[in-house]
Structure 1
Amino acid sequence: MASVVFTGSPSAQAAASPSTTLVVNANQVLRPVTHVATGSLYGLANASTPADNLVQAIKPNTFVQKPQGGHQQGTGDVLTVAPKAARAGAKVVNRLSDYYAGWPYQFSWSNWLSVVDDQIAQTKASGITNLAAYAPWNEADGTWKTANGTFEDFWTRTYREIRSKDATTPIQGPSFSDNIGDMDNFLKNAVATNTVPDIIAWHELIRSSKIAGDVATVTGLENKYGISPRPIAIEEYAAPSEVGIPGPLVGYVAKFERLGVHDAELAFWNQSGALGDLLTGQGGSPNGAYWLYKWYADMSGSMLTTTAPAQTGIDGAASRNSAGNEVDVIFGGGSGDSAVQVNGLNSLSAFGSTAHVKVEYTPSRGRTTAVSGPTTLAESNYTVNNGSITVPVTTNTTDGYHLVITPATGGGTTGGTTTGGTTTGGTTTGGTTTGGTGSASCKVTVTPQTWTGGYTANVTVANTGSDAVNGWKLGFTLPAGQTITGAWNATVSPTSGQVAATNLSYNAQIPPGGSQSFGFQGTDTGTYSPPSGFTLNGTACTAG
């Protein structure tokens, strides 16, 4: 039976091209790490939902919430959730128009200015210190009724009312949807009436590829009207089909970072209290996208410049820690043979002639399907050539990926620098090693993730002996009813019964005390149980 290679696996046979390669410059700082895109609209439901540990782990930047006592949604009152946001280091925005029920809003001039005054008074009385801004309205291009006059007049009157009661809290707007065609008229009026927002805000709810054009449009209008550059807030982002899916969300994060957006919030399409659909439901469990944002949250130090080949396809964001001894890259959106090229490592004193690379992925199993955590696909050393390494990864458009690059701490180079699919650095070249030498003691650890009818298994093969293993074949037995449908970091054949997993060219060596990892995905007709009877190059291994 033919061997299988799982889409999502790093592969030395991958034939990535410039059109499918993300370039990271480790020596070019873009901006400080602020986790621009980790917030959400109605991401918090109340004082207890979601749980603090889930909120704090993704280091949210900003939440947009409804006024205290507002009627647009049943949960999410800004003053109720502000302390929870503060515990996570996040700010909150009060979307004043969400005081009203209905869509379009059941707005009335008869009580509007009183609503504004009351919200400001309640905020001052509450003592919260993490209010980022007041947002007077939401998506006027679809919700403002001409019977109430012009939106420009509404904005002028409301801006002045807020400033009469609060002279310092930022005001953001106009909060248009994707249709920013009226931004010219809005800013022209704002300049004429001295009501230019402190933060210019709109939404990106169709696709990430249009963000750069919209930012350029707004920047051009600032120049046209002599407006000093304002921070940009994207109060809602991602289409309904994209939320909860790691792959397409990477493109938004990357572009917000690259274009200097101040803060951006995941859209509210389904339930409040789900962190913008990073959880399976209100107060639910993490889905695959959550772990993408956890990687993003774990970035520290400085964001680095990244260059994507186009506005669509593979894209990503990268960081360098303050010590200069770790580069992290999150990426996705590619399909098939892809690569990440990291340049400028020779400018970091911590790095020498080799770099250690860990590759992880988080799967897309749908917004409402829980994922217990990311999976490690590979760990190996790469030769640094002229300050650069290139890591090939065969990608799926819906999954998210993560590289952790640190200085190598010894042992042979098992990855090398991959260019055009040929391993040219390190100690291994060519294709898959089919046999292997070295009789070593071994220990095998299997870490599964299961769901009804299926599973993934990440397998770590540890060399517990004193001799190096140069080329490995791991034999094992699958339980009855299990069939392998894909694998990464190894060729696996056959797909059931007595199975053998054989190294690829970049992970052929296992030094004494070292390990290599591979994994596979499969179907299961019963209750999951792990494989057994492990042998490494014919020598029995212990299971751990």
Structure 2
Amino acid sequence: MDVTGHAPPPARGRASAPQRLTVDLAVSEGPVLLGANGALYGIGDDGVPSDAVLAPLKITSVTQKPEGGAQHPNGDALSVSGSFFRNGGGEINVMMQDVYARWPYEDLGIDDYLPRVDEIVKEVMADPHHDRFVYIPFNEPDCIWYDLGVPDRERYEANRDRFFEDWRTVYRRIRSLDPDARIAGPNETGYHPRLMSDFLAFGQRENVLPHVVTWHELSPDSLREFQSHHDDYRATERRLGIAPLRVSIDEYANRRDLSVPGQLVQWVSMFERNKVYANQAYWDAAGNMDGNVVRTNIPNGGWWFFRWYAGLTGDTVEVTPPQPHSVDTLQGLASLDSSRRQAQVLLGGSDGDVDVEVRGVPRAVFGRAVVATVAEAAWSGYEGQHAAPRVLARTVLEVAADGSVTVPLSGARRMSAYRIVLTPGGAGAPSAVCVPWSASYEAEDAAITGGRVPTRGTVADADGYAASGTNAVSLGTPGGRMDLTVTVPADGTYDLAILYGNGSGAPAGQKLLVDGAHPVTVTYPSTQDRAHLAKKDLRVELPAGTHVLTLVGGDAEVTLDRLDLTARTGAPWASYEATLADIGGSPSYDYSSSAGVGTGALVLREGDRAVFDVYAPRDGHYTVVPRASATVWLALHGERLTAAPDRPLRLYLVAGNNRVALTAPTARQAAVRSLDVSGAGSAGGALSYDAASAALTGAARLVGSAHAPGGFCVDDVGDSPHGAAEFTVHALHSGRHVLVVHYAHDDRRDTGHAYNTDILSRTADITVGAGTPLRVTFKNTWSLDDYWTLGVPVDLRKGANSVTFRNATGRAPRIGRIELGRVFLPS
């Protein structure tokens, strides 16, 4: 059974026989922790990233700088705490030395540091959630301030003793101000047994043991060595008679790993197996969950992997990969939830065929047959959007007499992660899965004229960015071109996705030709830099057979990495299984029927809730159908409406992720099978107003902007209570609408980091009519000429309404257009 539908990967590196990943549901590793979903500077500002992409991840911890810290321009712990906690976040680690401006931190002595420590603790203590903060007083002391990594024993001991003295001083200072404070350390750049043993012994002797033990795992070698590091640490605890302390790997992975589902599964599996907490490292820009959120609200492939991880419930179980503790190999993690009657397996990291053997399938939980549902989260680049993961197969499998089932996965891709869900088999058969034909082509395999072919993302270049292969192609002159030969199986329309990077500081153009004819302009929005890849989606008409796709360079250099062709089989469509939705209350799970999506039904009673994460490729109206046995209430963007079973609704979704909640009406129940969503985002029925229609006051002005939706934008709103842009909009109906703002700005503050791009957000106070102003945060768009959208729910009355943008204390972004779509569009 081929469950991928992809053209086979290149022959190089494929094994002749499938690799085998073994899962034993009978061997529990303990309750699912979800500890490895954290991030360093994952939140940049309140609202960046959005609530809709934060809440589904169930984040256990983030690490941020002290309020007002000079190390970075945003990411202040107290400023982002509201966003973090309202979306179910667990704890915030405060990187206290990030109060300093320079990197490495300027060493002004402990007497300079202590007053800063006092201020940080007092500010945290004033926060209503102060008990959910953890203090990290020192960062990377093996390299910074103390030089604990020196090989000379005498120098090491002198430096160690100075560090220990300062640790004791700061530890006691924090606890004197906050007696219940939790303190983390030593926080080295890696695991060093010599220092860790001495540190624990000192902490035990002086009663200054950390409450959380931290160190970093950043190198590809960590995929091989972390287990021995963790085992050595626990052995040191036992030798010293110290009760097990919480471990937090508060920086993990490198650029080549972040955003890549097949890499992330390798890291997360080893941390979850050992029940430690772990935060992804901060290599680039704050506010994107370390490479997993595109813009403000759009998921990429890495986000979907973490969404799957957040969906694990029950206990994790034993997983045996073909090569345990190895770098860049097939790895996995799995869970069993007997109460929900679900088993889930997440795997990835290797090309080729895989057999996933699941042993110990309990007959009392699953019966004699299971439905196996297989889906793929592919790598879409750091800034490339990723739709809901495509289901590759839903198959009924008989459980063997020995309690095992084997799920084959053909043609797996090393940068992808895969999820297998097992649920009890019921009556009927799941609906057939339609997997359209697709093929992937590496840019470096094309014929290149006048371009460069840099190496990307190898183990030898772990600091470098990921690439789909090990190379990319940079075209930087009008004479540069790439000729790629492709073969398609049938006449038709094909979706063409181009993974690209554009660090030119403005939108860049190339010409696309099919078989040397019919040139069209391809415009690539800016990315952080040429290696920070995004995804451009196009559509091409191709007759069956072989063709040459040509991309001709323009005035700006654009990096091309991978091109994907997928046969278009109709309007975009996705079915979201109710039994895999987030839940509130105590719904039950009914697997008596395997019809439809095959994973049964979620039975909602009064007080129960199912929340679906629904992807939209762009802002607009979509058709949404609840597959339920009875009427339910549907909530979206703050509006609740009655949804009849199997009755299509026209709902406004914002680009990216949308949280759609279903509840049962009072004193009734409804068995929900799925939420089906189709369409490409219709603008029909939406109100649209270009910048030129705004009434301007103060310093606000209308300026030409070639890439703005109408050729103009409103600039210079703010820095004064008098400057404003007021749009008058005419609503056909009263009620809840989504205000979509097309905006641009590129504020930055260079703090001197070699590897951080310190971008700033702008804010605007938006007032509708005489309502209360709503402060909205707009993330940096990488250039003044790149316009992104941000959706804000607002209430309009029928007829004329004013929508006003102000900012008395700072600059609002450029505004190119506003649109307003009614949340529920009656048929």
The TM-score, its normalising length taken from structure 2, stands at 0.49
Task: Evaluate the alpha carbon distance shift between residue 481 and residue 206 of structure 1 in structure 2; reply closer, same or farther with a 3 A threshold.
Answer: farther
Task: Evaluate the alpha carbon distance shift between residue 38 and residue 448 of structure 1 in structure 2; reply closer, same or farther with a 3 A threshold.
Answer: farther
The structure with the largest strand share of the pair is 2
Q: Is the 8 A contact 2:394 2:430 kept in 1?
A: no
Q: Is the 8 A contact 2:35 2:275 kept in 1?
A: no
Q: Is the 8 A contact 2:355 2:408 kept in 1?
A: yes
Distance 1:293 1:5 in 2: 23
Aligned mate of 1:451, from 474, 497, 507: 497
Aligned mate of 1:278, from 289, 292, 305: 292
Question: For each residue in 1:26-82, what CA deviation from the matched residue of structure 2 results, as whole angstroms up to 9, or x when unmatched?
Answer: 233222223111110001111121101111111111011101111111111111111
Q: Is the 8 A contact 2:252 2:279 kept in 1?
A: yes
- Following superposition, the deviation at residue 251 of structure 1 comes to 1.0
User: Aligned runs of 1:212-223 on 2, under 5 Å?
Assistant: 212-223=227-238
Indicate yes or no: 2:283 matched with 1:296. no
Question: For each residue in 1:362-408, what CA deviation from the matched residue of structure 2 results, as whole angstroms up to 9, or x when unmatched?
Answer: 11132222212211111111121121111111322111110011111
Task: Evaluate the alpha carbon distance shift between residue 16 and residue 88 of structure 1 in structure 2; reply closer, same or farther with a 3 A threshold.
Answer: farther
- Aligned residue for 1:21, secondary structure, equals strand
Indicate yes or no: 2:426 matched with 1:409. yes
Q: Is the 8 A contact 1:360 1:377 kept in 2?
A: yes
Distance 2:97 2:566 in 1: 59
- Aligned residue for 1:56, secondary structure, equals helix
- Following superposition, the deviation at residue 14 of structure 1 comes to 9.4
Distance 2:172 2:316 in 1: 37
RMSD between aligned residues: 3.4
Distance 1:343 1:329 in 2: 12
Structure 1: which amino acid aligns with 2:137? P
Task: Evaluate the alpha carbon distance shift between residue 34 and residue 348 of structure 1 in structure 2; reply closer, same or farther with a 3 A threshold.
Answer: farther
Partner of 2:731: none
Partner of 2:102: 102
Task: Evaluate the alpha carbon distance shift between residue 119 and residue 453 of structure 1 in structure 2; reply closer, same or farther with a 3 A threshold.
Answer: closer
- Following superposition, the deviation at residue 483 of structure 1 comes to 6.9
- Following superposition, the deviation at residue 129 of structure 1 comes to 4.5
Distance 1:295 1:210 in 2: 26
Task: Evaluate the alpha carbon distance shift between residue 160 and residue 323 of structure 1 in structure 2; reply closer, same or farther with a 3 A threshold.
Answer: same
- Following superposition, the deviation at residue 157 of structure 1 comes to 1.1
User: Aligned runs of 1:311-350 on 2, under 5 Å?
Assistant: 311-312=325-326, 313-345=329-361, 347-350=362-365
Distance 1:349 1:308 in 2: 27
Indicate yes or no: 2:104 matched with 1:119. no
Indicate yes or no: 2:170 matched with 1:158. yes
| Residue segments in structure 2 that go unaligned for 5+ positions in a row | 148-157, 433-491, 501-539, 548-564, 570-593, 599-677, 680-827
- Following superposition, the deviation at residue 414 of structure 1 comes to 12
Q: Is the 8 A contact 1:238 1:267 kept in 2?
A: yes
Structure 2: which amino acid aligns with 1:59? K
Partner of 1:70: 69
Task: Evaluate the alpha carbon distance shift between residue 157 and residue 447 of structure 1 in structure 2; reply closer, same or farther with a 3 A threshold.
Answer: farther
- Following superposition, the deviation at residue 453 of structure 1 comes to 8.9
Distance 2:25 2:493 in 1: 33
Task: Evaluate the alpha carbon distance shift between residue 356 and residue 153 of structure 1 in structure 2; reply closer, same or farther with a 3 A threshold.
Answer: same
Q: Is the 8 A contact 1:380 1:414 kept in 2?
A: no
Distance 1:289 1:169 in 2: 34
Q: Is the 8 A contact 1:15 1:338 kept in 2?
A: no
Distance 1:219 1:98 in 2: 29
Distance 1:447 1:59 in 2: 39
Distance 1:327 1:103 in 2: 46
Q: Is the 8 A contact 2:431 2:596 kept in 1?
A: no
Partner of 2:145: 144
Task: Evaluate the alpha carbon distance shift between residue 413 and residue 127 of structure 1 in structure 2; reply closer, same or farther with a 3 A threshold.
Answer: closer
- Aligned residue for 1:140, secondary structure, equals coil
Distance 1:211 1:496 in 2: 39
Indicate yes or no: 2:212 matched with 1:199. yes
Structure 2: which amino acid aligns with 1:136? P
Distance 2:105 2:399 in 1: 58
Partner of 1:362: 377
Partner of 1:439: none
Distance 1:215 1:77 in 2: 31
- Following superposition, the deviation at residue 515 of structure 1 comes to 9.2
Worse-superposed segment, 227-236 or 331-340: 331-340
Structure 1: which amino acid aligns with 2:356? V
Distance 1:363 1:40 in 2: 21
Q: Is the 8 A contact 1:382 1:414 kept in 2?
A: no
Indicate yes or no: 2:33 matched with 1:34. yes
Distance 2:234 2:290 in 1: 28
Task: Evaluate the alpha carbon distance shift between residue 93 and residue 380 of structure 1 in structure 2; reply closer, same or farther with a 3 A threshold.
Answer: same
Question: For each residue in 1:274-315, what CA deviation from the matched residue of structure 2 results, as whole angstroms up to 9, or x when unmatched?
Answer: 11211235x362211111011111222222222223212211
Identity of matched residues, %: 30
Q: Is the 8 A contact 2:366 2:423 kept in 1?
A: yes
Task: Evaluate the alpha carbon distance shift between residue 189 and residue 216 of structure 1 in structure 2; reply closer, same or farther with a 3 A threshold.
Answer: same
Q: Is the 8 A contact 2:381 2:499 kept in 1?
A: no
Q: Is the 8 A contact 1:103 1:143 kept in 2?
A: no
Structure 2: which amino acid aligns with 1:320? L
Distance 2:60 2:269 in 1: 16
- Following superposition, the deviation at residue 322 of structure 1 comes to 4.7
Q: Alignment length, in residue pairs?
A: 432
Distance 1:188 1:514 in 2: 60
Distance 2:493 2:121 in 1: 52
- Aligned residue for 2:312, secondary structure, equals coil
Q: Is the 8 A contact 1:32 1:301 kept in 2?
A: yes
Structure 1: which amino acid aligns with 2:334? A
Runs ≥4 residues deviating over 4 A: 13-17, 145-149, 411-415, 446-450, 481-485, 512-516
Q: Is the 8 A contact 2:28 2:315 kept in 1?
A: yes
The TM-score, its normalising length taken from structure 1, stands at 0.73
Distance 1:496 1:161 in 2: 61
Structure 2: which amino acid aligns with 1:6? A
Indicate yes or no: 2:257 matched with 1:246. no
Partner of 2:745: none
Task: Evaluate the alpha carbon distance shift between residue 413 and residue 378 of structure 1 in structure 2; reply closer, same or farther with a 3 A threshold.
Answer: closer
Q: Is the 8 A contact 1:27 1:344 kept in 2?
A: yes
Partner of 2:650: none
- Aligned residue for 1:141, secondary structure, equals coil
Worse-superposed segment, 393-402 or 403-412: 403-412
Q: Is the 8 A contact 2:33 2:275 kept in 1?
A: no
Question: For each residue in 1:255-291, what CA deviation from the matched residue of structure 2 results, as whole angstroms up to 9, or x when unmatched?
Answer: 1111121x1111111111111211235x362211111
Aligned mate of 1:259, from 257, 274, 278: 274
Task: Evaluate the alpha carbon distance shift between residue 306 and residue 101 of structure 1 in structure 2; reply closer, same or farther with a 3 A threshold.
Answer: same
- Following superposition, the deviation at residue 175 of structure 1 comes to 0.8
Indicate yes or no: 2:400 matched with 1:387. no
Partner of 2:190: 178
Aligned mate of 1:308, from 304, 313, 321: 321
Structure 2: which amino acid aligns with 1:480? L
Distance 2:250 2:105 in 1: 18
Distance 2:269 2:546 in 1: 34
Q: Is the 8 A contact 2:29 2:315 kept in 1?
A: yes
- Aligned residue for 2:294, secondary structure, equals coil
Structure 2: which amino acid aligns with 1:74? P
Question: For each residue in 1:480-523, what CA deviation from the matched residue of structure 2 results, as whole angstroms up to 9, or x when unmatched?
Answer: 268799xxxxxxxxx999x9xxxxxxxxxxxx98799xxxxxxx
Distance 2:394 2:404 in 1: 17
- Aligned residue for 2:36, secondary structure, equals coil
- Aligned residue for 1:197, secondary structure, equals coil
Task: Evaluate the alpha carbon distance shift between residue 168 and residue 79 of structure 1 in structure 2; reply closer, same or farther with a 3 A threshold.
Answer: same
- Aligned residue for 1:144, secondary structure, equals coil
Structure 2: which amino acid aligns with 1:371? H
Q: Is the 8 A contact 1:324 1:349 kept in 2?
A: no
The structure with the largest helix share of the pair is 1
Question: For each residue in 1:302-335, what CA deviation from the matched residue of structure 2 results, as whole angstroms up to 9, or x when unmatched?
Answer: 2222222321221111122352411111111122
